Structure 1
Amino acid sequence: MKDQDKNKQRLIEELERRVEERTAEVTEANQELQREIDQRKRVQDGAGEISDATRGAANGHSEASWAAARRLSWTCPNDRSL
């Protein structure tokens, strides 16, 4: 009976050790994934800012072009070319 108890205790301790190891591995994997998520968010936010700035510059250029075109007098020999 004592041998069975000792064997049972040894198995329990082995399982507890394995659970602790696996928990540490999962914790590290979760931390790595969180770092990757944070990095991707920073990249995505930066890309959005660049896109907004580019769009703003393009819109500003477009508005300036239209304003200049309105000030110009267009002459066209043929109305169909418009």
Structure 2
Amino acid sequence: MKLTPDQRIWVSKVLAAISAVETAPSEADLADAPVLDCWRPLISHRGDLILWGMVSGHPRLGSNQITTLQLIAVNAARG
């Protein structure tokens, strides 16, 4: 199966996200990370798993109601 250029970009992003999850964020990363409170899982209009909630400390969005991009991995054990 030959991938389209868009599919290749998506696969690259997925592999980078998997690599980031495997290395885990540092304490400094977590200290500076935005926080999503009162979140709920949703299915987007495209059928992707996303989260809706109230973000605080986001560098561009500040404190606001948001939906996330498509989730790639979920660690249920860590919440």
Q: Provide TM-score, normalisation by structure 2.
A: 0.28
| TM-score, length of structure 1 as denominator length | 0.28
Q: Which has the larger radius of gyration?
A: 1
Higher RCO, 1 or 2 (CA under 8 Å, sep at least 6)?
2
Instruction: Answer 1 or 2: which has greater helix percent.
Output: 1
Give the strand-richer structure, 1 or 2: 2
